[in-house]
Every structure is written in C-alpha cells, then in structure tokens.
Amino acid sequence: MHKGIGILTSGRDSPALNCAIRAAVSHANLTYNWEVVGIPYATQGLLERQTVLLSMHGWDLRGIDPLLNMGGTVLGSVNKGDTLAHADDILASYEALVLDALITVGGDGSLKIIQQLGTLGNWHLVGIPKTIDNDVAFTEVSIGFDTVINTIVDAINCLTFTAASHDSVMIVEVMGPYCRSFSTTLRDCWWCRCNFNS
C-alpha cells in the first residue's frame, strides 16, 4: 500500500533541522518506499496547501545528501500568528493533501499546536523535538542543544586566551528564555574541565 507523509519545520531556527529532514526522507524512502512531501513554512504552508516532493534523488543528481552540511531549514519556518484560529482551514488542507501522517520538527510551542490540530483531525503524528533551549517535556536532549553548547564552549575557550593575555576577567552571557539548560549544562561542562585540569 502506497503511503504519503508530510514533514514540516516550525518555530525558531535550530541546528540540525536539515539533518532531521534528510533522515526522515531517507528512512521513509529506502525502508518503506513511502513518498515524502515537504511543507514549506510550517502551518502557513499547510494552510496554503504548498508541498515539495522530497526524495533521495530529488532536486538534483546528489539528492538530499547535501542537507547534512547545510544550516537552517530548506523548508523554511515560521514562528508567528494564531494558527488555531485557522484550525478548520488547516484540517481541510491536510485532508486535501491526502497525507497518511505528518512529521513535525518543532519546539514546545509548535509541537503543542500540531498536537492540538492532530487531535481535532485524527492525524497520525510524529513530533521531533528541536530547540536550542532543550525545554521540550519528556525529552532528554532536543535537536540543536548539543551544537549550541559546543559552540558556546568553543567561544569561551577562545575568550580564555584573550582574558589571560590581558590579565582580565570576562563575563559571558548566554540566552535561553525560560529554562536554565544553557547555564547549568555549561556550568557542568566548565566544572568538569576545571576538575580535570587541577
């Protein structure tokens, strides 16, 4: 039986979105022979019934493999609007696209909205948590978090030499709207480093 699934990325940017898209397409195509369509700009694209066929040999002769090294998301993303106000239209669009399931790569807000829509429309859903804040419930480590921590650690390592050469102290501020994942993880990384070096 032929199956068609959709995939969309929603919310703020995060590392490894294209890797998640590639992994989903690769597994669906090669393991199950399912067709995968990308839905540009999240629920906005779903509302407008926009799709792009994604396959292992799509776009050009190299297929989707180059996605492994590309930042951002080739599907685009949105992080605005009152999606649930358009719930009926989005549900109708989902049915018109004849999707058997929907994969959503998103943060806590995006996944909650898609879950509400999926419940209303009786959709088959897969949620892939992605957020640099690592604040999706029941998720140990979300897509993007490890990359951000390593980027911050690399930046701090570079600043260490500058601070030492000027006998200075530097304060580094990192973002994170509601949770302390950045600061506590960085503290733990730095504490381990200090203990190993002493």
Three-state DSSP class for 68?
helix
DSSP secondary structure letter of residue 12: S
- Whether 139 is in a domain gets the answer no
Any domain includes 82: yes
Please indicate, yes or no, whether residues 47 and 123 belong to a single structural domain of this protein. yes
Average pLDDT for 35-42: 93
Nearest to 4 by CA among 79, 96, 92: 96
Quickly state the pLDDT bin for 178 (edges 50, 70, 90): low
Residue 133 known to be catalytic: yes
Q: What is the pLDDT of residue 193?
A: 52
Instruction: Give me the number of domains the chain comprises.
Output: 2
In terms of residue numbers, what domain contains 60? 4-129
Q: How does pLDDT run across 145-161, given as a tens digit for each residue?
A: 888 888 888 888 888 88
Contact in structure between 186 and 172 (CB atoms under 8 Å): no
Q: Does residue 4 or residue 13 have the better pLDDT?
A: 4
Contacts of 115 (CB under 8 A, 6+ apart): 125, 127
**pLDDT greater than 50 at residue 62:** yes
The answer to the question of residue 85 being in a domain is yes
Residues 42 and 90 in one domain: yes
Query: Residue 44 burial (CB < 10 Å; 0-12/13-18/19+)?
Result: buried
Q: 3-state DSSP call for residue 176?
A: coil
Interval 63-118: pLDDT, tens: 677 777 778 888 988 877 788 888 999 999 999 999 999 999 998 889 999 999 99
56 belongs to a structural domain: yes
pLDDT at 198 over 70: no
Selected catalytic residue, list 133, 146, 154, 167: 133
User: HSE on the CB side for 163, CA within 13 Å?
Assistant: 11
**What is the reported pTM?**
0.81
Same domain, 25 and 72: yes
- CATH number of the structural domain spanning residue 33: 3.40.50.450
Q: How far is CA 143 from the centre of its chain?
A: 6
Per DSSP, the three-state class of 130 is strand
Give a yes or no: residue 23 inside a domain. yes
User: Is residue 134 a part of any domain in this protein?
Assistant: no
Same domain, 191 and 93: no
> Six-digit token pair at 134?
């690592």
pLDDT at residue 196, as a whole number: 41
Q: Are residues 115 and 151 in the same domain?
A: no
In this structure, the answer to whether residues 11 and 82 fall within a common structural domain is yes
Is residue 13 scored above 90 in pLDDT? no
The yes-or-no verdict on residue 58 having pLDDT over 70 is no
Domain final position from 129, 158, 181: 129
The answer to whether position 157 is within a domain reads: yes
Q: Which residue has the tokens 């839905």?
A: 39
Same domain, 175 and 112: no
Instruction: Show Cβ contacts of residue 30 under 8 Å, excluding neighbours closer than 6 positions.
Output: 56
**Which contiguous run of DSSP H or E holds residue 36?**
strand 35-38
Q: Is residue 188 part of a domain?
A: yes
pLDDT of residue 97: 93
